[in-house]
A and B are shown apart, each in its own frame.
Chain A
């Protein structure tokens, strides 16, 4: 008959919980009660009772007390001496196995370097706007509209600010800001472009931008006063005292400097050089065409910041929001084309914060941080994993030490602490190396980020503390698995040196992680190859016009005719043409044209050029002529592209000549020429209807065809010529092909980033692989000796040893290739209309590169092992 026994699981749980505490009598009581109960009740009930008893004991004071007293047999207190001993042992063992120590430190250092950049960036960005004394009382009003995808704007309509100021009693101050103040600032004949804000007069009392000179309350009282920053003043006046100087700005009038601000901190979401009272804008008014002076509810044209009183109640913001939305309901009709509601955003939430339309400055939107964080982890985790992997596979070497420790009374948690400590030493050393990488790559990294001028990665005390904390954390993450493994070792087995079978237990996990590492590395390498090809192809793309040797000069307000006269005199300039924008990197103007049959308006891109332009850029005309050189009505002519004819169904090019089209704002225009299709915009967009028009007033650039062997001298000549007509303004000229290259700089930075990450990833993978191979060959050294004695050749042994790793890399290739292909084909280049298909060449090249590196790593070790003389390896048997 089967004997009925107490529930096993409950017993196990109890034994596990009590560990080695003296609870023999308690277990006995439980079991005895069970057998007593069996006679009284059903088996099920007795088992239930048993569970109940065991749980009641586990939570009881009796067990707690006994557990506490067991530990008294060996000290679990961490005395300084013990810690010192751990440090000593750790440093000895690290010094003894120099090779593995170097691999580990180097791998972790590389893995941590990106994280350091990330931490430094997060730390800096989190200090954004922290310097404002009133930061907890300042709120920004934002607008949620029905436009597009329910777009949210950082701007608000102007009447809202006025209503808040006059009708809501609980607000201490409302500050209106317009960022329309930008243009040439003129002082004493010196012209410098300046950017700044129109602000309400109490701006400097609300925000903590300290003044070097002037009084915060009064500097902006007079509508013709201006506050300038330290750096702005330096640019404008040099060392002279700026106070009292009068600056003239073309569209805005004259302003007298009344205050100088200390240099603005980089971690401010508002960046400006000059401040002018908002009143000035109101005086200038709508007549001058300033958007910000428009007082319609439909125009989101200013930024509104609220300062709440010193001790405002916590529901005050809620009340302000509902107040604003009550107004909004009255203002925007239910079915109106434009509707908006309003919300408040506390100052510290602006940056880092959501990416709203028309932000006033950098906001560091959170999704990009998450992407960056994921990339960081993708680099860091493989490095941690390498450490874990190498440590465990080398367990055999340490098992005697651990066995002995256990025999003389080492507790599990003590051994755990010892190994964690050892890992932390490694990660702290790695931090030192990693910091070097960080210091080197810091500036390069900053320059890659768009808003780099608002980012300062110079390490502060806080960042250094975070770095050290981070290194310790990495130590825990990388060290926890080996530490657990070692602390669990059975001392008997450990001393008999037979625990190697256990070490290979996690080999499936280990192998799959190696595969993951290589797949990741391959992905990055391929990314570089694919992007590079796309980049080169884009630059050499036939845009349909000539871009070589064309120099684009910004006119900066100089009369085109004067410019043409002066520059035609230069021997190096062959032809001069004028245009309103730059071809190929075109991001410009469009207009609307009505289709005849459907009355729909179609958007048509336009550019204003002169009579030389088409010839200068070698644009091909299929029919008709270019603009005439001298004719008063040439403003009424257009030259269209083929796509235009197709869209408007005008028929063949010859038929199109002399036809008229209605252009909004310009009236009836006559087609005098048809140009072959060309890429006026970048390759991300398909070719659209386009036409050229002629308007001298709208020319912004002169396009010079330059022929010279000495470009340097040619440009120096041009600069001299420019001095006579452009005055103080700087000569701004760039070669056409450079402009186009810049338009595609996104490829460039992607190559840089992927290249960098790929380099890190492949280095980490190879280091990990190296560690694994070295260990595997070390442990099989005797087997190799025997094989050689039996007649195996070096090459067969090398193959035997390398085979497994090659297989892993093959699997990685099979996984990574299609994923990378899909990622780029669908996600990234899906946006590019004229793209180059991903070819086999760059895929194969990437795979080859990975294999060369990986196989090189493997062979460097296996060949050495295969060549070893069996006499040396077998001598001690």
Chain B
């Protein structure tokens, strides 16, 4: 159905879903960096976003000009239905595997 989605791609998709209306380049980058504690380059992020757009998992629209960026507009990203479906698929697969797991994955204090 949908092509294979990589780990970073999944992360980006989920972050965009979490940020909802305010998902644009800088906010996505900051959010991921904060949550995962790893530093990502803006180039790598935009490359991934472009690929996701190509696959039809994301769509984007330009916002209004803002002062802080020297009058340059932001590009806001949104999940498409396909994107949502892809995320659901992954989650279903994960859940299934979690359930099937014979090893106890829960925290054992």
Contact = CB atoms under 8 A, between A and B. Distances in A.
Interface of A: 24-33, 35-36, 52-53, 55-63, 65-66
The binding surface of chain A is classed by DSSP as: helix
B73 A30 contact: no
6 contacts: A25-B62, A31-B72, A52-B41, A61-B46, A62-B47, A65-B50
B43 A62 contact: yes
A26 B50 contact: no
Contacts of B75: 25
A592 to B, nearest CB: 84
A61 B74 contact: no
Interface string B43-55: 1101101110010
A345 B96 CA distance: 75
B47 A60 contact: yes
Given A60-B44, A66-B50, 10 more contacts: A24-B73, A25-B72, A27-B72, A29-B24, A29-B29, A57-B42, A61-B47, A62-B43, A62-B49, A63-B43
A15 to B, nearest CB: 12
Which residue among A31, A55, A59, A60 has the maximum number of chain B CB atoms within 10 Å of its CB? A60
Of the four ranges (under 10, 10 to 19, 20 to 34, 35 or more), the interface on chain B belongs to 20 to 34
A28 B42 contact: no
A60 B43 CA distance: 5
A63 B43 CA distance: 9
Contact of B46 (A26, A32, A35, A36): A26
A25 B43 contact: no
B26 interface: yes
Contact of B73 (A28, A59, A60, A63): A28
A493 B68 CA distance: 34
A7 to B, nearest CB: 14
Which residue among B29, B47, B51, B73 has the maximum number of chain A CB atoms within 10 Å of its CB? B47
B44 A56 contact: yes
B3 interface: no
A35 B68 CA distance: 8
Contact of A33 (B42, B47, B50): B42
Contacts of A24: 62, 72-73
A36 B30 CA distance: 10
B6 interface: no
B49 A29 contact: no
Contacts of A63: 43, 46
A31 B43 contact: no
Contacts of B70: 28, 31
A12 to B, nearest CB: 15
B69 A28 contact: yes
Q: Ordered nearest first, which 4 A-B pairs have the shortest CB separation?
A: A56-B43, A28-B72, A60-B43, A62-B46
Contacts of B69: 28-29, 31-32
Contact of B26 (A29, A62, A66): A29
B47 A25 contact: no
A59 B42 CA distance: 11
A32 B42 contact: no
B25 A26 contact: yes
Interface in B1-36: 24-26, 29-30
B63 to A, nearest CB: 9
A25 B24 contact: yes
Contacts of A32: 26, 68-69
Interface of B: 24-26, 29-30, 41-44, 46-47, 49-51, 54, 62, 68-70, 72-75
B29 to A, nearest CB: 7
A36 B26 contact: yes
Contact of B43 (A28, A36, A59, A65): A59
Which residue among B46, B51, B54 has the maximum number of chain A CB atoms within 10 Å of its CB? B46
B41 A56 contact: yes
A33 B29 contact: yes
Contacts of A55: 43
B42 A25 contact: no
Contacts of A35: 68
A57 B26 contact: no
A32 B67 CA distance: 10
A320 to B, nearest CB: 57
Nearest to B30: A36
Contact of A25 (B29, B44, B51, B73): B73
Contacts of B46: 26, 29, 57, 60-63
Contacts of B41: 52-53, 56
A34 to B, nearest CB: 10
Nearest to B54: A65
Given A24-B72, A24-B73, A61-B51, A29 B44 contact: no
Contacts of B68: 32, 35
A66 B49 CA distance: 12
Contacts of B51: 61
A53 B26 CA distance: 12
Contacts of A53: 41-43
Nearest to A65: B50
Contact of B25 (A25, A58, A61, A65): A25
A27 to B, nearest CB: 6
A30 B75 CA distance: 13
Given A61-B50, A62-B47, A62-B49, A30 B24 contact: no
A59 B41 CA distance: 11
A63 B46 CA distance: 8
B38 to A, nearest CB: 15
Which residue among A24, A25, A55 has the maximum number of chain B CB atoms within 10 Å of its CB? A25
A560 to B, nearest CB: 97
A32 to B, nearest CB: 5
Nearest to A61: B47
A57 B43 contact: yes
Contacts of A25: 24-25, 62, 72-75
Contacts of B30: 36
Contacts of A62: 43, 46-47, 49-50
A62 B24 CA distance: 14
A26 B47 CA distance: 11
Contacts of B25: 25-26, 28-29
B40 to A, nearest CB: 10
Contact of B42 (A56, A61, A65, A66): A56
A72 to B, nearest CB: 15
B43 to A, nearest CB: 3
B69 to A, nearest CB: 4
Which residue among A27, A36, A53, A56 has the maximum number of chain B CB atoms within 10 Å of its CB? A56
A64 to B, nearest CB: 9
A25 B23 CA distance: 13
Nearest to B25: A29
Which residue among B43, B50, B62, B72 has the maximum number of chain A CB atoms within 10 Å of its CB? B43
A601 B51 CA distance: 91
Given A24-B72, A35-B68, A29 B42 contact: yes
Nearest to B42: A53
Contacts of B42: 26, 29-30, 33, 53, 56-57
A798 B26 CA distance: 69
A381 B47 CA distance: 47
A32 B47 CA distance: 19
A57 B41 CA distance: 8
A65 B52 CA distance: 13
